[in-house]
Copies of this chain bind each other. A is one copy, B any other.
Amino acid sequence: MLKKTISLLISCLLFCSVLTAQQALFGRGYDIISPQVHANHSVTFRLMAPNAKEVKLTGDFIPSKGWIPGSEAMVKDEKGIWSYTTKPLPSDLYGYSFLVDGMKMMDPNNVHQIRDVATVTNIVIVGGGQGDLYSVQAVPHGTVTRTWYDSSANPYVKKRRVTVYTPPGYEESIEKYPVLYLLHGMGGDEEAWINLGRTAQVLDNLIASKKAEPMIVVMTNGNVAQEAAPGESSLGLYKPSMQLEGTMDGQFETSFIEVIRFVESRYRVIPKSNSRAIAGLSMGGFHTLHISRYYPNTFDYMGLFSAATMPDKRNAGSPVYADIEKSLEKQRYNGYKLYWIAIGKDDFLYKSNKEYRRLLDKLSMDYVYLESEGGHTWANWRFYLTEFVPLLFKK
């Protein structure tokens, strides 16, 4: 019987040679290592492109010139492999792409990619510091769930997709947990924080090192006209866009009660303001600001990451945006544990944040302020998450 059957060893060899043949044809350079992170934290990027005239590298670690992303020329060796080695880089997660004769190309030797709105880039992590928080470490891991909740009050769609992180041990425990609601920015969706933001890795690592309390993190879709991320709804595999209806017009804020109801009926949570936090980046910071005012006594922890602050005049008519100062005063009167504001020095929302802090000062509202380097970037938002989460739900 054994003799008669095709040897599995042969099938394996067959499999592998097919793969290699395909790679040789398509990827050109299956044996190339790229990216390669060196012990001194420099990184070498390589691309086999013998016929290319010019290959450049773009990446988060190359300074942009105004609005134009920076790039560095790569150098070709005799085998047709182009390479570039960075200086030692600060420990972090970086996105990068190649520009081959002006065309953006993914690194064929790196399957690790993230999508930001309509753009996909490769990623690399430089460890030994901040980047370790974004890496999967040998620590207990939480569970990540994509599920759907009822949104019957929503005029656009009746079911909406949400990503939920539950901490290690949640399923075996009978404990109730606090909840962080974590909101994305314009063009984002319920995949943004878990993928771009590395939420599961950050939480796993901070909880394992006892820097953060075990908590549930709920990553919503803040575009009320959208059921789910592009490709995850019945709209099909369409091209993502920044242009969405119903994002900053008060509708997400008014319907947010549906998210809370869903979370508090589905999960074992502590349904008290001292166990609810809300934070978001950019548009999600805007939502955080307004949701936390609009639902008094609901959240004791607020995080505004590079937040947009005030509504557009067109939307100022929404009841959510009425009497902003009064409702902030009420929020102060009700009391809270943390109002946390972070923004980069180069952020285009820096000035509006300064004005917003002036308003909080005028209203004698306490807040903690973090001013970082850089601008309106995921590098900052990931960093803010790692700074904010340890401040939550301390007993």
The proximity string for A residues 201-243 relative to B, scoring 1 for CB distances below 8 Å and 0 otherwise, is 0000000000000000000000000001011111011011011
Count of chain A residues with a beta carbon within 8 Å of a chain B beta carbon: 106
Q: A103-B105, A187-B19, A349-B11 are in contact. Are A26 and B118 (CB under 8 A)?
A: no
The proximity string for A residues 144-158 relative to B, scoring 1 for CB distances below 8 Å and 0 otherwise, is 111110000000000
Note all chain B residues with C-beta closer than 8 A to A67: 17-18, 21
Note all chain B residues with C-beta closer than 8 A to A325: 1
Q: A5-B310, A103-B105 are in contact. Are A22 and B69 (CB under 8 A)?
A: yes
Tell me the bound Cα distance from A108 to B105 in angstroms.
9
Q: Does A316 belong to the interface (CB within 8 Å)? A: yes
The proximity string for A residues 2-34 relative to B, scoring 1 for CB distances below 8 Å and 0 otherwise, is 101111110110111111011101111010010
Cβ B120 vs Cβ A111 within 8 A: yes
Note all chain B residues with C-beta closer than 8 A to A8: 248, 286, 308, 310-312, 315
Among B115, B138, B148, point to the contact of A111 (Cβ < 8 A): B115
Q: A15-B186, A348-B14 are in contact. Are A147 and B138 (CB under 8 A)?
A: no
Note all chain B residues with C-beta closer than 8 A to A104: 26-28, 108
Q: Does A101 belong to the interface (CB within 8 Å)? A: yes
Cβ B240 vs Cβ A111 within 8 A: yes
Tell me the bound Cα distance from A243 to B22 in angstroms.
16
**Nearest CB of chain B from residue A255's CB, rounded to whole Å:** 19
Cβ A99 vs Cβ B349 within 8 A: no
Tell me the bound Cα distance from A147 to B142 in angstroms.
7
Q: Which residues of A contact B (CB under 8 A)?
A: 1-2, 4-9, 11-12, 14-19, 21-23, 25-28, 30, 33, 49, 51-52, 58, 67-69, 97, 99-106, 108-113, 115, 117-120, 123-125, 127, 135-138, 140-141, 143-148, 159, 161, 171, 186-187, 228, 230-234, 236-237, 239-240, 242-243, 248, 266, 286, 308-316, 324-325, 348-349, 351-352, 355-356, 359
A-B contact pairs, 30 of them (CB 8 A): A1-B325, A2-B313, A5-B309, A5-B355, A5-B356, A6-B310, A7-B313, A12-B186, A12-B242, A14-B348, A16-B242, A16-B243, A19-B187, A23-B119, A28-B102, A52-B101, A100-B103, A103-B105, A110-B239, A111-B119, A111-B120, A111-B231, A113-B113, A136-B231, A136-B234, A140-B148, A143-B146, A143-B148, A144-B145, A144-B147
